[in-house]
Amino acid sequence: MNPAQPFLSDIQEIRRRARQHIEKGAVTEGYKADLQTVLRVLNEALATELVCVLRYKRHHFMATGLNAQSVADEFAQHATEEQGHADLLAGRITQLGGEPNFNPEGLLMRSHSEYKEGSSLVDMIKEDLVAERIAVESYSEIIRFLGENDPTSRRLMEEILAKEEEHAEDMRSLIEKLGKDAK
Ligand SMILES: [Fe+2]
Ligand SMILES: [Fe+2]
């Protein structure tokens, strides 16, 4: 191994390539992933988050009416966190030179999770748990797809995935708690 060049490409070569195509911003010649596919899956994740924001908002206001303040508060907190995920994804999409898709038309088609209103409090929580489990599955798949080819997007998805797992656990323990209260 050449000690002057312990790893990666020659620094001169990296500098030369960085000067080419500067209009591509963060996307360099070394970008290994299939950019169009990455942008598509990140936009699907964005749609998933937006649908989750809407569903949690609806549940928040409906639960408030059901006189279940602590559950309503939990829904509101999740809505805020999903909005934060949506913003992170939109930011990454733009950083990669793409356009975040906020179009309400087709939103549910792009989203992995569903918009289910739920008729009772337990119903709502169950629907949220299902949506979180869908997000956990599909984000895990996105992370495997990104692999070593786009570590920044992968790290972002890993950060979001960890939060969705927390959300799923929150919903599971709420169902348990409501079950105990009912006895
Ligand atoms: Fe989320
Ligand atoms: Fe979530």
For ligand 1, the distance from its centroid to the CA atom of residue 24, given in whole angstroms, is 28
For ligand 1, the distance from its centroid to the CA atom of residue 119, given in whole angstroms, is 23
Max CA-CA distance within the chain? 71
pLDDT digits (tens, 9 = 90+) for 107-166: 999 999 999 999 899 999 999 999 999 999 999 999 999 999 999 999 999 999 999 999
Please state whether 70 falls in left (phi above 0), alpha (psi between -120 and 50) or beta: alpha
Residue 179 pLDDT = 79
What's the CA gap between 122 and 47, in Å, rounded? 25
For ligand 2, the distance from its centroid to the CA atom of residue 85, given in whole angstroms, is 9
Residue 80's pLDDT band (cuts 50, 70, 90): very high
Looking at all shown ligands, the one closest to residue 131's CA atom is 2
Assess contact for 100 and 89: CB atoms under 8 A: yes
